[in-house]
Amino acid sequence: MLETSCQELKVKFSASSNVIRSLYLKEHSIRKKLSHDGESKPTLLVLNVPPYCDNKTMKMLFRSCGNISSIHRQKKPGNINDSSDYTGIFPGLAVTGYHACYLTFEKRSSITQALKLTESTEVLCLSTDEYQPPCGMKKWCLDYLKSWPNKNLMQKEIDKYMEAYDKKVEEQEKMEAANEGVPDDDGWVTVTKKGRNPGVSRTEANQTRMKARIKRKKEKKDLFVYAYQIRESKREKIADLRKKFEEDKAKISEMKAARKFRPY
């Protein structure tokens, strides 16, 4: 059930359409979107927005009211998740069906002008000769294309991040070189990789290499002990065979000496 403070704005898709939709407008005072000067920007809440009403259509619908600085959409009105920290490369989940839309204007007088549009009995058209909002198969294809990240923007953001990272690493190396061998207030000297006896940084890659080196040494040691045991067992086996050979040889000699000629 809609609040009584909402004002109705009748719209239709095109001039030839007989289906009339109702948009419900209300000044949104809960949202605190601060600008650089610390003042909150005026925001208009629009309910029952059709799925084919894109950002360009909303700007054309309210262009007589003033410039729209930002447009935020969500399934239902309520708390707005701040997406300022998210990258614009990977688009979020698309809002489907009828939804709520938050229009942020640059001037507060634009809210008053937008609400005055509801006083007119004229039905506004969302589709004009200048622009027709995509719908049907065309809209589905556009939504699919928008779901994929932009490679050019991604590469620009990666280059920008790596440039800032390289600059930070360079400044850190200069600071370490300047403080090399200089004791602190307590008289301690920090060992860095730039010194005479450089220390190993405790990074994940270095820790992995160190563990692998220790494992190889242990395997080599175990292999040496195992090879030694094999050699000793072979020597003992050879000694047992020689002892048994000498015993059998002695038995054969005794049997030969005990033989007697018995013709009858």
Residue 33: name the closest of 90, 89, 81 by CA.
81
CB 99 within 8 A of CB 151: no
Percentage of the chain modeled with pLDDT above 70: 80
Give the domain ranges of the chain: 7-146, 199-259
End-to-end CA separation in angstroms for the chain: 132
Mean of the per-residue pLDDT values of the chain: 81
The reported pTM is 0.54
CATH superfamily to which 7-146 belongs: RRM (RNA recognition motif) domain (3.30.70.330)
pLDDT in tens, 181-191: 677 777 787 66
Distance CA 27, CA 32 (A): 12
Q: What is the pLDDT of residues 252-263, one digit of tens each?
A: 888 888 776 555
pLDDT digits (tens, 9 = 90+) for 82-122: 554 455 666 667 788 899 999 999 888 999 999 999 988 88
Summarize pLDDT for 219-254 with one digit per residue, the tens.
777 666 677 777 888 888 999 999 999 999 888 888
